[in-house]
Structure 1
Amino acid sequence: MKTKYIIAFFLFFNSGYRCSLAQKKDPELDIKIKALISKMTLEEKIGMLHANDLFSSAGVERLGIPPLVSDDGPLGVREEVKVGWLPAGLTTDSATFFPNGSAIAATWNPEMAYQYGVALGEEARARKKNVILAPAFNIARTPLCGRTYEYYSEDPFLNSRLAVRAVKGIQSKNVAACVKHYALNNQEYDRFKVNVEADERTLREIYLPAFKAAVQEGDAWAVMSAYNKFRGVFCSENKYLLKDILKDQWGFKGVVISDWGGTHSTVTAAKNGLDIEMGTESPYEQYYFAAPLFKAVKNNEVSTALIDEKVYRILWLMHHTSMSDNHSAGQINTPEHALTTYNIAKESIVLLKNNKKLLPLLNAGTKKIAVIGDNAIRTFHNGGFGAGVKAKYEVNALQGLYNRLGKNASLRFAQGYNALYKSTDSEEQRITANIPDESLISKAVDEAKNADVAIVFIGGNREVESEGKDRKDIQLPFGQEALVAAVSAANPNTIIVVVGGAPYVLTKMDNANHTILWSWYNGSEGGNALADVILGKVNPSGRLPFTFPVKLEDSPAHALGTYPGSEFSTEYKEGILVGYRWYDTKHIAPLYPFGFGLSYSTFLYSDASTDKQLYPADGKIMVSIKLKNGGTQAGNEVVQLYASKSESKVDRPEKELKGFTKVWLEPGEMKTLRIPLNVADLAYFDAKMMRWKVEEGTYKLMIGSSSRDIKLSREITVSR
């Protein structure tokens, strides 16, 4: 009993603003913030805790406290809006369009995530935004999720490494990164009311690591709560998620912001960890954290000390952003930002198949190229529901080819299919739009017959993959399979480029030995980067951040019938076997495995070793290998380190990603690579003891180029 009270006192003592880690590090700031709070009226404090416009909450002008201004989002700083989300119609609010989340993940390069963050932070600063609602890195549990393109990957380790660097990049420009959506926001279907049931080990090993890393390693200044419920309680008022884990266990010292319209109570949300309520519609004074919260304080349902804690957190964030002495004016639409988008895009593109060696397209005799498909001329900075960008420019795929080829080749375009439906259309409209357009296919075939090479651009777009709505299936839309079949029959030299942010079924094309290149919603410079990969100026180095199934039913949530759930509840029965963990453990062959991607070069792995064979539980492992570029073209290889435990006391996946490195090699060059691994990272979460536990015994460390292509392995032993 005594222990219980000691723990309760510890949690209480550390939950208040008086004991935040930031104040211990900066006593002068602590004094400054407390002095401001002491001068504020209750009305002024409450005004800071709820929206007073679509993207802002109030400041206190008489005390020199500006409003807190936020903005979307992961793809770039969105255009200014007015009531009803209508564009404000300005001529000064264009921005750089950055590659989507799964494109950043496909680079497998934390430095690209950092450069993305720096550029996004600079653009947000230039537009006078204090908080940018990014990055978004919920786990890709189902390929159907409408926001898979926005999120990163199916793996918590990969997500963590990229999220930390993106957060640090954004905040280096004195703009708060608001990491989202906390937590278990893995489907858009019924997102406002679906309840997620997941066991503790699954929560800690799969769905929380990236958030924990963003907070503890990235020092994120803001977190956005998710729309859904977790264990029967909305995330915006979920004490276990917001207070017990985020604020108490992880020591989060920033601000918890609701998703827009995602708050459901006044007293419960206030007591359980929410700091700011945001929403989309006025009257703002009627929000849960407006007049009702003021009344709750007056009725002693919510303490003034709790209000002060929330205001303290906001002022702490503002002293790192708009009230900081160090911030710059920012810059937007610069050549440097364009270069960042190009670099991310070129490192994200994945070569899936090249059996006929049609790529790279180097043949001097290639003079006539048929460019086919709506995605060749489509731009992706806007569309669907949710955050978009009014891009200053976006180079589409056809323009990219023109830019690179100039007068050296003749490019003839045929649309091939109509991308007719919008994300808001009915299922009947979607089905109708997916019927092949024989007239457009016929014109495409005519162009293909008269060309040396045909390049067919297919896949999704921002209407097909959209916030607020999951896809019904992962089949290619708009009759694209029929288009590919007809064009490739007319011209055997057909290259397929698939554009999308989430998996599609490409089984027929793969079986037909087509040359397949995967691109993404790849930002303002996407077309130029894609052209450079096609033409061989860039050696593709993107690797898949999630598994591509042969069919949707192979995916764990669908194999177990737990998506989308029933009666507004879904149980994550697959537990920790998410993504490749499921496929590899259950021995289900994917179409393309996690981490997969080809190159124009061949990389040779040899001489795997570890610095020791026996390690203590608190030790550090150094894994070394030699890697050689055995091809004729310089390029990057992504070396991946997986681990498994034999004879474990608990169920474990066949393998789990524990490290990776991306390395550049010239033709014939060999390097010795070293990948560090903390023994603590081999732990599993013991739900009974509520702690991480490293088992003693034998572990197998595997080095490969994907989860299914293991080149080398070593065994080590962990002792107590």
Structure 2
Amino acid sequence: MKKNAIIISATLLLIISCKKETKDTVGEVVVEASYAPKEFDASKFESKIDSLIAQMTLEEKIGMLHGNSMFTTGGVERLGIPELKMADGPLGVREEISRDNWSPAGWNNDFATYYPAGGGLSATWNTDLAYLNGNSVGEETRARGKDMLLSPAINIIRTPLGGRTYEYFSEDPFLNKKISVPFIIGLQDNDVMACVKHYAANNQETSRDFVDVLIDERTLREIYLPAYQAAVMEANAYSLMGAYNKFRGDYLCENDYMLNKILREEWGFKGVVVSDWAAVHSTVKTLENGLDIEMGTPKPFNEFFLADKLIAAAKAGEISEEEINKHVKRILTVLFQVKAIDGKDRVEGSIATEEHYQDAYKIASESVVLLKNDNNVLPLKLDGIKTIAVIGNNAMKKNALGGFGAGVKTKREITPLEGLKNRLPESVTINYAEGYLERYTKNENNQKTAVTLEGPVTVEELDEAMLQEAIEAAKKSDITIIFAGSNRDYETEASDRKDLSLPFGQKAFIDKIMAVNPNTIVVMIAGAPFDIEDISKKSKALVWSWFNGSEGGNALADVLLGNVNPSGRLPWTMPKRLEDSPAHATNSFPGNESVTYAEGILVGYRWFDTKNIEPLYPFGYGLSYTNFEFSDLKTDKEVYSKSDIIEVTFNLKNTGKMDGKEVAQLYVSKPESKIERAAQELKGFKKVLVKNGTSEKITIQLPTKELTYYNVDKKQWMVEPGTYKLKLGKSSRDIVTETIITIK
């Protein structure tokens, strides 16, 4: 099954850009969807499942509720029930590891495609590419014989210091869900379970194992849960992963409110909840409060809370066998759903193919963000150019493996230097100099992963010989390109960054290079914001790229040379100062034993726009090699009911000389609202290819449901009647035109 196919089932016919009806928790209506999920009907398998459970011993049932290896749960071979086989997957399918520890298994057939990290995918603002990414990695998951991929990671980016910001999608709940849903559908179209993580309010790595997160109900519903709700109700996600942290006093893997009341009772979730590794803290409470599978780190698997302890609790009458059966039934349901039991015509998949590398290229090529381009320095004009200095550790740094957490063992990772060598004509000489070293100070464990809030661990002093080599390369070259930023050893799971400073003395290093060759372009490769204001002011051009997959270097070279017109847009706000960001302005990060989200609903650009704080680069920002004009903004009506779909149309003209893609962004504000609101909120977007000198008429459909707020007293979503402004623009700070509608 290939990516752009139309998916047809007995009950669902999909045509791209069709609408399907779903109901949210208050019975309101109609969401726009580009892809329809597979039907998830647990009743289809009910009689078979009941028969299997009736034949199982207590020990066999409980064996299915916990890991029996690092990435599998127990099966029942005599009944034809296989192990549930998982793979980690934020960057692609992780290499095979040993059954009882984290060391590699040493296979020679577990090479996979390295896909752009979440920051890169979300920077495309392209829902078709989100489906492509999910479907492509889903094929690789099946080719490895897995039933579940631990992906996507969709937590909201609350702080620019977050260790997993590179892996997550966005600071905005609307963009977050619009990227998440097609990704999940694409993944699950391959008879594999998406395990959507980390549910929920897991927005910092500092103290993540125990910190108690305190969020008011409206903020929880409007900011931190929408992508999870959409994953369940629009994408039919088969699995969610419970987070490490506590929420309002209870660990999230034993949190009745989050797992039972919201997830299952309100949203109707039918799948399984899997713990993060070693995130379980009790036996009976964990099971009764909604967790289904306990996974963990190396220790005897029978010592897990849902192993021998659960057998003893059941025999002592502390928990009923009926309760245990409920969780076994959920696991069997998803195994049947992905055809792991009695499965005919299950997708076989393929892995590390040229086609999949090109999937990674397509995503990477649309993710690169052009931040600055004085005098149209880019794309590079090679007439008369004989030498280019390529400088910086990141020109050759590879990021498929690194840091604390999952990576990908891949046969192909094109670096920026390799990409330029692949694309530049032979007449151009590249003068390469590494320039600075990626160096860390020693810590107790002598581990690079100790990039924590406790103190700086990088070596900031520059190596004088390497600096001079880079200076000489810049002096003797017509153009200098510096590849700077970060890497996956510095941005990593399990720790947050101390501040926004560039590591390894790069700021001073870049200053020295630009001093000898003012014709300098700076390319940042990173997953999260850094302090680059001074670099932005001094450089001729500034480009932002990501941990961008197997073809990242080729894609980046194509953007720099103009083979690809940049169309990436920032999925988060880049602040001028850390203290401008809401979690830091309110002094509510990281907390100690607990953390209160004092900024409430004003996360990300909502804070900057509402408080009128100027960012360095705003949410949604990105330049192009061409120019676009918006005009003739209209709605199909002036007055709408609370169940209508607002049809917004406008013209988009490419006034430049190069074909390009623009991301039209639709923000909504409510003047004179009776409730607290952000100055504006993203409620629609569309990425459109417009050929040079031509115009396209664009339509964005905005269900009035998207204008709701969560009424805490009534415990329901409500649309406030009155006047709304619809604002069309190129970023949250570049609104080009607006119009007014009324909700009666």
TM-score tier, shorter chain, comes to: over 0.9
Measure the CA separation in 2 of the matches of 1:239 and 1:649. 33
Q: Corresponding residue for 2:191?
A: 174
Superposition map of 1:416-455 within 5 A: 416-421=435-440, 422-424=448-450, 430-431=456-457, 433-455=459-481
Are the equivalent residues in 2 in contact too, given 1:593–1:708 (CA < 8 A)? yes
TM-score (norm 1): 0.95
Q: Corresponding residue for 2:97?
A: 81
Q: Corresponding residue for 2:564?
A: 538
Superposition map of 1:53-452 within 5 A: 53-82=69-98, 83-321=100-338, 322-323=340-341, 324-421=343-440, 422-424=448-450, 430-431=456-457, 433-452=459-478
Measure the CA separation in 1 of the matches of 2:355 and 2:40. 38
Are the equivalent residues in 1 in contact too, given 2:649–2:699 (CA < 8 A)? yes
The correspondence for 1:553, drawn from 574, 579, 599, is: 579
Post-superposition offset of 1:427: 8.0
Measure the CA separation in 2 of the matches of 1:658 and 1:28. 37
Structure 1 range deviating more: 444-453 or 420-429: 420-429
Q: Equivalent pairs: percent with the same residue?
A: 52
Post-superposition offset of 1:426: 7.7
Post-superposition offset of 1:436: 2.8
Give the 3 Å change call, closer, same or farther, for CA 718–492 of structure 1 in structure 2.
same
Measure the CA separation in 2 of the matches of 1:303 and 1:288. 16
Measure the CA separation in 2 of the matches of 1:139 and 1:75. 18
Give the 3 Å change call, closer, same or farther, for CA 163–126 of structure 1 in structure 2.
same
Post-superposition offset of 1:281: 1.4
Q: Could you give the per-residue CA deviations for residues 537-596 of structure 1, whole angstroms, max 9, x where no partner exists?
A: 000000000000001110000011110113x11000100000000000000000000000
Q: Corresponding residue for 1:52?
A: 68
Q: Corresponding residue for 1:509?
A: 535
Q: Corresponding residue for 1:18?
A: none
Post-superposition offset of 1:27: 4.2
Post-superposition offset of 1:362: 2.3
Measure the CA separation in 1 of the matches of 2:259 and 2:212. 16
Q: Corresponding residue for 2:693?
A: 668
Figure out how many residues of one structure are paired with residues of the other and give that number.
698
Structure 1 range deviating more: 669-678 or 399-408: 399-408
One-letter code of the match for 1:290? A
One-letter code of the match for 2:572? F
Are the equivalent residues in 2 in contact too, given 1:437–1:479 (CA < 8 A)? no
One-letter code of the match for 1:106? A
Measure the CA separation in 2 of the matches of 1:437 and 1:302. 63
SS at match of 2:738: strand
SS at match of 2:230: helix
Q: Corresponding residue for 2:661?
A: 636
Measure the CA separation in 1 of the matches of 2:194 and 2:417. 35
Measure the CA separation in 1 of the matches of 2:430 and 2:492. 32
Q: Could you give the per-residue CA deviations for residues 404-458 of structure 1, whole angstroms, max 9, x where no partner exists?
A: 1141310111001101122236889945512233332221110001001000000
Are the equivalent residues in 1 in contact too, given 2:216–2:600 (CA < 8 A)? yes
Measure the CA separation in 2 of the matches of 1:379 and 1:186. 26
Post-superposition offset of 1:489: 1.4
Are the equivalent residues in 1 in contact too, given 2:454–2:498 (CA < 8 A)? no
SS at match of 1:356: helix
**More helix per residue: 1 or 2?**
1
Matched, 1:702 2:727: yes
Are the equivalent residues in 2 in contact too, given 1:23–1:30 (CA < 8 A)? no
Measure the CA separation in 1 of the matches of 2:604 and 2:91. 25
One-letter code of the match for 2:54? S
Q: Corresponding residue for 1:41?
A: 57
Give the 3 Å change call, closer, same or farther, for CA 343–426 of structure 1 in structure 2.
closer
Q: Corresponding residue for 1:716?
A: 741
Q: Corresponding residue for 1:9?
A: none
Structure 1 range deviating more: 77-86 or 557-566: 77-86
SS at match of 1:546: coil
Are the equivalent residues in 2 in contact too, given 1:628–1:668 (CA < 8 A)? yes
Are the equivalent residues in 2 in contact too, given 1:346–1:529 (CA < 8 A)? yes
Q: Could you give the per-residue CA deviations for residues 39-59 of structure 1, whole angstroms, max 9, x where no partner exists?
A: 111111000000000000000
Are the equivalent residues in 2 in contact too, given 1:270–1:302 (CA < 8 A)? no
Structure 1 range deviating more: 81-90 or 328-337: 81-90
Give the 3 Å change call, closer, same or farther, for CA 105–262 of structure 1 in structure 2.
same
TM-score (norm 2): 0.92
One-letter code of the match for 2:55? K
The correspondence for 1:462, drawn from 474, 488, 496, is: 488
One-letter code of the match for 1:304? E
SS at match of 2:376: coil
Structure 1 range deviating more: 541-550 or 419-428: 419-428
One-letter code of the match for 1:53? S
Measure the CA separation in 2 of the matches of 1:406 and 1:303. 72
Post-superposition offset of 1:300: 2.1
Q: Could you give the per-residue CA deviations for residues 48-102 of structure 1, whole angstroms, max 9, x where no partner exists?
A: 0000000000000000000001010110111111243111222111110000001
Measure the CA separation in 1 of the matches of 2:252 and 2:453. 30
Measure the CA separation in 2 of the matches of 1:432 and 1:90. 34
Give the 3 Å change call, closer, same or farther, for CA 177–668 of structure 1 in structure 2.
same
SS at match of 1:640: strand
Give the 3 Å change call, closer, same or farther, for CA 707–428 of structure 1 in structure 2.
closer
One-letter code of the match for 2:490? V
Q: Which runs of 5+ in 1 are unaligned?
A: 1-21
SS at match of 2:328: helix
Give the 3 Å change call, closer, same or farther, for CA 198–28 of structure 1 in structure 2.
closer
SS at match of 1:433: coil
Give the 3 Å change call, closer, same or farther, for CA 514–232 of structure 1 in structure 2.
farther
One-letter code of the match for 1:669? T
Measure the CA separation in 1 of the matches of 2:240 and 2:130. 18
Matched, 1:606 2:631: yes
Give the 3 Å change call, closer, same or farther, for CA 475–230 of structure 1 in structure 2.
same
Measure the CA separation in 2 of the matches of 1:695 and 1:23. 34
Give the 3 Å change call, closer, same or farther, for CA 256–707 of structure 1 in structure 2.
same
Measure the CA separation in 2 of the matches of 1:469 and 1:425. 6
Structure 1 range deviating more: 513-522 or 147-156: 513-522
Measure the CA separation in 2 of the matches of 1:427 and 1:416. 27
Q: Corresponding residue for 2:8?
A: none
Matched, 1:472 2:491: no
Post-superposition offset of 1:688: 0.9
Measure the CA separation in 1 of the matches of 2:41 and 2:219. 34
Give the 3 Å change call, closer, same or farther, for CA 135–427 of structure 1 in structure 2.
closer
Give the 3 Å change call, closer, same or farther, for CA 428–293 of structure 1 in structure 2.
closer
Measure the CA separation in 1 of the matches of 2:266 and 2:344. 31
Post-superposition offset of 1:285: 0.6
Structure 1 range deviating more: 320-329 or 282-291: 320-329
The correspondence for 1:678, drawn from 671, 689, 703, is: 703
Give the 3 Å change call, closer, same or farther, for CA 605–482 of structure 1 in structure 2.
same
Q: Corresponding residue for 1:14?
A: none
Are the equivalent residues in 2 in contact too, given 1:122–1:332 (CA < 8 A)? yes
Measure the CA separation in 2 of the matches of 1:171 and 1:200. 31
Structure 1 range deviating more: 503-512 or 167-176: 503-512
SS at match of 1:608: strand
